[in-house]
């Protein structure tokens, strides 16, 4: 889907999404995709969730799990060797700066989680309201926002993050929050597009018309009726974006634009330092942080794709025998988008 | 929408729509680079030169003028494909693109070929045999291919194929001797060597190309697999495939002639988006393999805080993406008559 089709509005011609459902228990809602899935899908969902949970636990309890802190270079008064091979003291070896690779890898999960949570919250806080307002209000505001967001969307995402990180670190500061902001710039357009598309289709739905007829103000309609309905398309993109955000974070770190090494352990930065090691045949400084990235991204992608499969009606076409209408809350408008943005 | 317009009309509208897009992109780049306090000269050379010298340079390059004047100047320059002269090494962006663009072009084209070579067949197989063991493995491969960042794959490839097995060179675009022999014709090293008839040089560059191209290609392969797989799955459920089956056409023919062909059309559309992915990935791959392309140059300017260098290259990348997506859309309109305004 190129940006142009959105400019002309053809991408928005989606059938209206169903009316909002009664709010069930939150737990029930979260469990629903797991119960409805089967076969490969269920396996993907469960595996992805399991790995994600483990990584999150590692991130939270990093000080307890890791043998040392991420910037420890000695134990019991003895300095670690630099580029030391895996040993009893340093099970995964040491880096060129004499840090313990295992500790840095585990603490790297913590950094990734912190940035991820901030970036997703920021992008949601900006992208969702903008998409709602743009889709519901329409007019020139909508056109301008679409133009800007499409331009940002067409931009190579890593380059966008690079420029944002470059400017922010030059003018404000570096660190976890700044890196999260740089990543936010990349993902706001995606939330905006998806939320706007579902808003456009929901706007014409009967229940919105009814609300309007009863004299509800635009603000009330957006907050009370549209938000709850439209926001259901967000979890899938949020999960897939989170996977993507880890890659962006690592990319920035690899290019030296991310978090400074003294502030936190970051997988991408560690891989940058490993380039020189690779030339000397040293594998442990590259392998473990890299596996951290792959594992985290894969886990989140599995969850995102699994959710997408379950919630996405267009992909269910081949199993027509048992139509499951109750979970079609993700508007068909967002379905093809998600499939592509997974890439 | 209901009446299909002419192809010429579509192309004209598509080109016309590009103008606001380019304008917004250029404005975004300009605002991002200049909203930051201070001017490019102070940011780049502030610590190194005396205030008088900084002011002198500012005046010489026009950075002391009102921002709005600079903005229109920037737009006008960009339209004429002039992106300024870098502050740190005094090269024009045009020269720089000519000099290093060839390397990036070689890398991205090779990577795209790798992705097509692996992505299409694997995607077709996965889509044809959906929900089977091969499908599950191919899908996992696609996810892993996307989840592994190019710099990690690149490092592993260097460790295994360059260090351990010594099959391919670990980095750079050519051996120093080949680099020195090459005469410049097109600024694309491999083409230059071929023009000279230096086939051992071409072979040398190809060997250097293998690891970076595979690394970057793997990233896009994953995307292709997913796309083709989903499209084949949907095409196989389509009415025309059902109709072909009903006519008694053998299943193999139905799949190869009817389903696959139609499944590949959307892939062309999405190739446009992959250009952005390729360019971003190229920056990372170039850094990993010391590949002398535009990405490496961009990183140099980022480290030296050369605002003009960064701004110029970013503008160029943005224009490349827009132009390529235009070309892809036109190709798409040519092969798919449904694509019209």
- Report the percent of chain A where pLDDT is more than 70: 79
Q: Between A234-254 and B150-157, two packed helices, what is the crossing angle to 10 degrees?
A: 50
- Report the percent of chain B where pLDDT is more than 70: 92
Which among B137, B121, B133 is positioned nearest to B260, based on CA atoms?
Answer: B121
Among B151, B171, B341, the residue with its CB nearest the CB of A8 is: B341
Model's pTM, two decimal places? 0.81
HSE of B117 in the Cβ direction (CA atoms, 13 Å)? Answer: 10
Quickly state the pLDDT bin for A97 (edges 50, 70, 90): confident
The reported pLDDT for the residue numbered A296 is 92
The reported pLDDT for the residue numbered A17 is 45
Over residues B35-51, the mean pLDDT reads: 67
Per-residue pLDDT reduced to its tens digit, A143-161: 888 888 887 877 788 888 8
Among B147, B275, B303, the residue with its CB nearest the CB of A297 is: B147
Distance separating alpha carbons of residues B341 and B13, to the nearest angstrom: 8
A162-166, A321-325, B277-281: lowest mean pLDDT where? Answer: A321-325
- Report the percent of chain B where pLDDT is more than 90: 4
Best mutation target, A1, A2, A168, A297, to test chain B (most B CBs within 10 A) = A2
Could you tell me if residue A171 is left (phi over 0), alpha (psi between -120 and 50 degrees) or otherwise beta?
Answer: alpha
| B303 shares contact with chain A (CB less than 8 Å) | yes
Give the max Cα distance, chain A. Answer: 76
Q: Considering just the CA atoms, what is the radius of gyration of chain A in Å? A: 23
The reported pLDDT for the residue numbered A160 is 87
DSSP A75: E
Q: Is the pLDDT of residue A266 over 70?
A: yes
Backbone angles phi, psi at A256, to 5 degrees: 80, 20
CB distance A159–B314 less than 8 Å?
Answer: yes
Distance separating alpha carbons of residues B292 and B107, to the nearest angstrom: 10
The nearest alpha carbon in chain A to B141 belongs to A298
B30-44, B74-88, B195-209: lowest mean pLDDT where? Answer: B30-44
Name the average pLDDT for chain B. 81
What number of other Cβ atoms are within 10 A of residue A331's Cβ?
24
The reported pLDDT for the residue numbered B56 is 75
DSSP A316: G
The reported pLDDT for the residue numbered B76 is 85
Chain B partners within 8 Å of A2 (Cβ): 269, 272-273, 325, 328-329
Q: Which of residues 314-333 of B touch A (CB under 8 A)?
A: 314, 317-318, 321-322, 325, 328-329
A246 within 8 A of A297, measured Cβ to Cβ: yes
The reported pLDDT for the residue numbered A58 is 87
Q: Is the pLDDT of residue B234 over 60?
A: yes
Name the average pLDDT for chain A. 76
Token match 């019991």: residue?
A76
The reported pLDDT for the residue numbered B5 is 61
B30 within 8 A of A151, measured Cβ to Cβ: no
Report CA-CA distances (Å) from A154 to A158, A160, B283, B326: 11, 10, 17, 12
**What is the total residue count of chain A?**
343
Distance separating alpha carbons of residues B107 and B198, to the nearest angstrom: 20
Chain B partners within 8 Å of A112 (Cβ): none
Distance separating alpha carbons of residues A293 and A320, to the nearest angstrom: 38
Distance separating alpha carbons of residues B323 and B326, to the nearest angstrom: 5
Q: Is the pLDDT of residue A290 over 50?
A: yes
HSE of B177 in the Cβ direction (CA atoms, 13 Å)? Answer: 4
Could you tell me if residue B38 is left (phi over 0), alpha (psi between -120 and 50 degrees) or otherwise beta?
Answer: left
ipTM above 0.85 for this complex: no
CB distance B230–A39 less than 8 Å?
Answer: no
Over residues A128-147, the mean pLDDT reads: 87
HSE of A219 in the Cβ direction (CA atoms, 13 Å)? Answer: 0
Higher pLDDT pick, B139 / B268? B139
Chain A partners within 8 Å of B226 (Cβ): 339, 342-343
Over residues A189-211, the mean pLDDT reads: 84
B25 within 8 A of B336, measured Cβ to Cβ: no
Residues A35, A39, A41, A45: what is their CA dihedral angle, to the nearest 10 degrees? Answer: 60
Quickly state the pLDDT bin for B341 (edges 50, 70, 90): low
Q: Helix (H, G, I), strand (E, B), or coil: what is residue A79?
A: strand
């Amino acid at each position: 889907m190129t940006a142009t089709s959105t400019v002309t509005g053809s991408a928005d011609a989606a059938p209206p999404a169903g009316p909002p459902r009664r709010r069930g228990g939150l737990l029930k809602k979260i469990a629903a995709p797991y119960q409805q899935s089967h076969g490969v899908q269920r396996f993907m969902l469960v595996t992805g969730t399991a790995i994600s949970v483990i990584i999150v636990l590692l991130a939270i309890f990093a000080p307890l799990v890791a043998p040392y802190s991420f910037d420890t270079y000695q134990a019991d008064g003895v300095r670690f060797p630099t580029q030391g091979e895996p040993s009893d003291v340093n099970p995964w070896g040491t880096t060129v700066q004499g840090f313990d690779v295992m500790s840095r890898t585990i603490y790297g999960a913590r950094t990734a989680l912190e940035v991820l949570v901030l970036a997703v919250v920021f992008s949601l806080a900006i992208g969702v309201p903008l998409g709602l307002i743009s889709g519901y209000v329409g007019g020139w505001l909508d056109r301008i926002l679409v133009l800007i967001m499409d331009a940002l969307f067409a931009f190579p995402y890593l380059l966008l993050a690079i420029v944002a990180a470059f400017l922010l670190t030059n003018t404000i500061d570096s660190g976890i929050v700044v890196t999260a902001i740089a990543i936010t710039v990349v993902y706001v357009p995606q939330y905006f597009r998806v939320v706007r598309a579902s808003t456009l289709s929901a706007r014409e739905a009967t229940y919105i018309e009814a609300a309007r007829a009863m004299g509800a103000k635009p603000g009330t309609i957006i907050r009370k009726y549209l938000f709850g309905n439209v926001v259901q398309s967000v979890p899938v993109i949020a999960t897939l974006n989170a996977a993507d955000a880890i890659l962006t974070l690592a990319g920035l770190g690899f290019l030296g634009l991310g978090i400074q090494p003294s502030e936190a352990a970051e997988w991408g930065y560690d891989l940058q330092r490993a380039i020189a090691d690779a030339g000397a045949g040293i594998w442990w400084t590259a392998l473990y942080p890299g596996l951290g990235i792959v594992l985290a991204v894969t886990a989140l992608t599995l969850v995102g794709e699994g959710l997408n499969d379950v919630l996405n009606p267009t992909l269910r076409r081949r199993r027509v025998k048992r139509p499951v209408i109750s979970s079609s809350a993700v508007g068909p408008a967002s379905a093809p988008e998600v499939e592509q943005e997974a890439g | 929408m209901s009446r299909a317009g002419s192809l010429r009309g579509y192309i004209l509208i598509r080109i016309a729509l590009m103008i606001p897009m380019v304008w917004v992109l250029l404005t975004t780049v300009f605002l991002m680079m200049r909203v930051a306090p201070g001017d490019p000269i102070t940011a780049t050379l502030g610590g190194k030169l005396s205030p008088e010298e900084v002011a002198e340079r500012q005046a010489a390059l026009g950075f002391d003028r009102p921002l709005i004047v600079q903005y229109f100047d920037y737009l006008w320059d960009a339209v004429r494909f002039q992106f300024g002269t870098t502050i740190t090494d005094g090269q024009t962006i045009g020269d720089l693109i000519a000099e290093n663009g060839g390397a990036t072009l070689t890398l991205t084209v090779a990577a795209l070929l790798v992705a097509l070579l692996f992505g299409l067949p694997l995607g077709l197989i996965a889509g044809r045999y959906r929900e089977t063991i091969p499908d599950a493995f191919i899908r996992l491969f696609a996810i892993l291919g996307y989840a592994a960042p190019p710099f990690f794959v690149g490092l592993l490839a260097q460790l295994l194929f360059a260090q351990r097995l010594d099959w391919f060179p670990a980095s750079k675009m050519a051996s120093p001797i080949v680099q020195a022999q090459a005469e410049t014709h097109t600024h694309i090293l491999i083409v230059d060597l071929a023009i000279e008839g230096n086939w051992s040089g071409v072979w040398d560059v190809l060997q250097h190309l293998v690891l970076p191209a595979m690394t970057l290609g793997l990233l896009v392969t994953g995307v292709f697999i997913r796309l083709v797989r989903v499209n084949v799955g949907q095409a196989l459920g389509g009415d025309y495939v059902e109709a072909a089956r009903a006519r008694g056409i053998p299943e193999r023919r139905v799949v190869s002639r009817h389903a696959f062909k139609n499944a590949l059309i959307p892939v062309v559309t999405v190739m446009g988006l992959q250009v952005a992915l390729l360019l971003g990935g190229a920056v990372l791959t170039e850094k990993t393999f010391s590949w002398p392309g535009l990405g490496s140059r961009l990183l140099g300017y980022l480290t030296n805080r050369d605002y003009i260098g960064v701004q110029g290259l970013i503008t160029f990348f943005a224009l490349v993406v827009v132009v390529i997506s235009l070309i892809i859309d036109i190709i798409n309109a040519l092969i798919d008559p449904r694509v019209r305004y």
